[in-house]
């Protein structure tokens, strides 16, 4: 049997201390945590944040867990308490299967306790008090074991649960609310905790942790293995790296250095990514994006990338006017995932916004239902649940109030190439010709039978012209000779 777990942390959630001395101690802790160099060093360790109200207003339901709490931010909330018994069951099974004692895992987590606490940017100082550090450690143990067991079940290597188990079974882990809760920024467990638990389970072989990331996290996140998955700060970050990659253009490094210099000269924005984004946008105004249908009228051809495991940001534009776009799996990339990935990039310093840049780029392409339909017809967009109009609105929400694609990235380069290609094709008389040509092509040459009919009509017209010419030729010839 698993050892009895300590009672829930009700005293932490009762509010501020009532005694002046206790209140003074609390305020002193708050000031000390954020003063001078110590505060700056602490900021660098943060990776799990609370989403501020203005950001959460974009999609209020995307940031608050509905069935399970992970970590301290939402722990103890009444509507999430029913899941606690399942988390404890998972922790018990994980520990028993490992062959280690609870004390082994406690000792291991204790070694990294300061790092785990520092991962949370708005951790209540009460958690740092000596009397509550053990409870925080217990939270990391239970939540970390639960998450690892969920990943094991999805990888079909844990057969110790009944197939009808409502949570700890393959079908149970497919629960949509559960999956979405585990992708929320405020609901993350530091990867350091998972790594420590796995290292103890594997008998001190940390290199096996990378295999765990490579083999099991992609199955949970994307439903398949993914070659480009690597270690992140937490599971949301791992998912973000797998889908959105910061790919630099040929002169990308110099462009990013120039942007960094501009920001530094402007005064620098430590941790204020939204302000940074606004400033960079003013320094590098975005070119007007063209929609899918506008680009089609200019002769751009859209093509689906053959490799469905490459990052969504791996969009390529060729000189012959062909743009290749990776498959957009909206059945995996939900509104909750997208909103939380964007929130993380806007809050965490140094991300350079690959997710937000992608959503901004796609928002420019998808401005109408017709744009979505065209990409659906090419199997680039794969979603049967959302309507065309809903997909347009989703990308607008993901990239709300921004038009900037990060300078120096491949996406920025592709956006610039499309802009130049469109202007070259659609300026002056060329534009009129291309409008006419693409309109004719779309109207008459999409269906092979229509194409055959048009070709036949052209041939008949040519024959009629030739017949008319030869019919008129004797008359013209005789008249010409009479005049002579």
- Residue 317: strand pairing partners: 323
Last residue of a domain, one of 198, 224, 242: 242
186 shares its domain with 222: yes
206 shares its domain with 288: no
> 247 lies in a domain?
no
341 shares its domain with 453: no
Cβ–Cβ under 8 Å, residues 228 and 245: yes
Last residue of a domain, one of 242, 270, 287: 242
pLDDT in tens, 119-134: 999 999 999 999 999 9
Predicted confidence band of residue 460 (pLDDT cuts 50, 70, 90): confident
State the Cα–Cα distance between residues 246 and 408, nearest whole angstrom.
10
> 438 lies in a domain?
no
Q: What's the DSSP call for residue 60?
A: G
State the Cα–Cα distance between residues 359 and 384, nearest whole angstrom.
20
102 shares its domain with 50: yes
Higher pLDDT, 262 or 146: 146
Share of the chain above pLDDT 90, in %: 47
Higher pLDDT, 299 or 184: 184
State the Cα–Cα distance between residues 220 and 261, nearest whole angstrom.
40
State the Cα–Cα distance between residues 405 and 319, nearest whole angstrom.
21
State yes or no: pLDDT of 261 exceeds 80: no
224 shares its domain with 92: yes
State the Cα–Cα distance between residues 65 and 186, nearest whole angstrom.
9
Taking Cα atoms as reference points, which of 403, 320, 408 lies closest to residue 365? 403
378 shares its domain with 260: yes
Return the minimum-mean-pLDDT range out of 73-77, 196-200, 467-471, 478-482.
Answer: 478-482
Q: What is the mean pLDDT of residues 160-181?
A: 87
> 384 lies in a domain?
yes
> 480 lies in a domain?
yes
Share of the chain above pLDDT 70, in %: 73
193 shares its domain with 256: no
3-state secondary structure 431-444: HHHHHHHHHHHHHH
167 shares its domain with 282: no
What's the length of the chain?
A: 484
Return the minimum-mean-pLDDT range out of 19-33, 60-74, 365-379.
Answer: 19-33
Q: What's the DSSP call for residue 208?
A: H
At residue 356, the pLDDT reads 94
State the Cα–Cα distance between residues 186 and 339, nearest whole angstrom.
12
Structural domain count, the chain: 3
Helix (H, G, I), strand (E, B) or coil at 5: coil
Taking Cα atoms as reference points, which of 429, 440, 354, 430 lies closest to residue 399? 354
At residue 280, the pLDDT reads 57
Helix (H) or strand (E) holding 316: strand 316-317
In order of 122, 214, 359, the CA distances from 219 in angstroms are 31, 9, 24
- DSSP code string of 168-194: SSHHHHT-HHHHHHTT-GGG---HHHH
Strand residue runs (E) in 198-311: 301-304
At residue 433, the pLDDT reads 63
State the Cα–Cα distance between residues 348 and 49, nearest whole angstrom.
8
195 shares its domain with 264: no
Q: What is the mean pLDDT of residues 69-81?
A: 97
At residue 448, the pLDDT reads 64
The pair of structure tokens assigned to 343 is 């929130």
110 shares its domain with 167: yes
Last residue of a domain, one of 242, 264, 295: 242
For 156, the domain range is: 10-242
> 339 lies in a domain?
yes
164 shares its domain with 105: yes
First to last CA, the chain: 121
Tokens 């689906």 correspond to what residue? 304
Higher pLDDT, 440 or 349: 349
State the Cα–Cα distance between residues 236 and 340, nearest whole angstrom.
8
The pair of structure tokens assigned to 319 is 């000189």
At residue 258, the pLDDT reads 67
For the entire predicted model, the pTM comes to 0.81
30 shares its domain with 65: yes
Q: What's the DSSP call for residue 409?
A: B
Q: What is the mean pLDDT of residues 98-107?
A: 94
In order of 203, 209, 227, the CA distances from 149 in angstroms are 18, 14, 22
Taking Cα atoms as reference points, which of 460, 239, 260, 253 lies closest to residue 338? 239
> 224 lies in a domain?
yes
pLDDT in tens, 312-334: 999 999 989 999 999 998 877 88
Q: Which residues contact 276 (CB under 8 A, 6 or more apart)?
A: 263, 269
Q: Which residues contact 301 (CB under 8 A, 6 or more apart)?
A: 321, 322, 323
Taking Cα atoms as reference points, which of 154, 312, 166, 168 lies closest to residue 235? 154
Please give the mean pLDDT across all residues of the chain: 82
> 411 lies in a domain?
yes
Q: What is the mean pLDDT of residues 439-467?
A: 67
- Residue 455: strand pairing partners: none
State the Cα–Cα distance between residues 312 and 328, nearest whole angstrom.
7
State yes or no: pLDDT of 97 exceeds 70: yes
């Amino acid at each position: 049997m698993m050892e009895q777990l300590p009672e829930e942390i009700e005293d932490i959630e009762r509010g501020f201390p009532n005694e002046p001395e206790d209140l003074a101690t609390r305020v002193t802790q708050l000031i000390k945590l954020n003063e001078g160099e110590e505060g700056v060093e602490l900021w660098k360790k943060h990776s799990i944040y609370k989403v501020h109200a203005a950001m959460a207003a974009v999609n209020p339901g995307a940031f608050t867990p509905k069935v399970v709490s992970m970590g301290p931010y939402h722990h103890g909330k009444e509507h999430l308490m029913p899941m606690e018994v399942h988390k404890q069951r998972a922790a018990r099974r994980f520990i028993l299967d490992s062959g280690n004692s609870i004390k082994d895992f406690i000792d291991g987590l204790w070694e990294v306790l300061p790092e785990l606490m520092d991962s949370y940017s708005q951790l209540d100082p009460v958690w740092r008090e000596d009397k509550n550090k053990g409870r925080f450690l217990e939270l990391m143990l239970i939540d970390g074991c639960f998450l690892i067991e969920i990943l094991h079940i999805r990888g079909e290597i844990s057969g110790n649960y009944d197939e009808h188990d409502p949570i700890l079974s393959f079908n149970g882990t497919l629960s949509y609310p559960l999956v979405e809760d585990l992708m929320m920024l405020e609901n993350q467990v530091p990867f350091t905790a998972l790594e420590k638990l796995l290292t103890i389970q594997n008998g001190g072989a940390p290199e096996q942790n990378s295999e765990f990331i490579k083999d099991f996290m992609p199955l949970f996140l994307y439903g398949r293995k993914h070659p480009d998955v690597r270690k992140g700060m937490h599971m949301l970050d791992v998912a973000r790296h797998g889908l959105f990659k910061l790919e630099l253009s040929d002169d990308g490094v110099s462009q990013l250095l120039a942007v960094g210099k501009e920001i530094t000269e402007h005064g620098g924005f430590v941790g204020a990514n939204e302000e940074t984004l606004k400033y960079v946008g003013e320094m590098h105004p975005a070119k007007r994006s063209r929609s899918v249908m506008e680009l089609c009228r200019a002769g751009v051809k859209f093509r689906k990338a053959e490799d469905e495991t490459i990052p969504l940001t791996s969009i390529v534009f060729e000189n012959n006017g062909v743009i290749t776009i990776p498959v957009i799996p909206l059945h995996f990339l939900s509104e909750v995932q997208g909103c939380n990935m964007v929130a993380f990039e806007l809050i965490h310093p140094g991300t350079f916004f690959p997710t937000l840049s992608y959503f901004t780029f796609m928002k420019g392409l998808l401005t109408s239902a017709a744009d979505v339909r065209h990409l659906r017809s090419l199997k680039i967009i794969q979603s049967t649940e959302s309507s065309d109009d809903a997909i347009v609105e989703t990308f607008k929400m993901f990239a709300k109030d921004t038009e900037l694609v990060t300078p120096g990235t491949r996406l920025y380069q592709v956006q610039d190439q499309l802009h130049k290609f469109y202007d070259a094709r659609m300026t002056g008389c060329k534009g009129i010709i291309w409008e006419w040509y693409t309109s004719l092509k779309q109207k008459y040459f999409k269906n092979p039978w229509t194409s055959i009919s048009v070709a036949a009509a052209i041939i008949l017209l040519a024959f009629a012209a030739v017949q008319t010419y030869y019919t008129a030729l004797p008359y013209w010839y005789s008249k010409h000779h009479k005049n002579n």
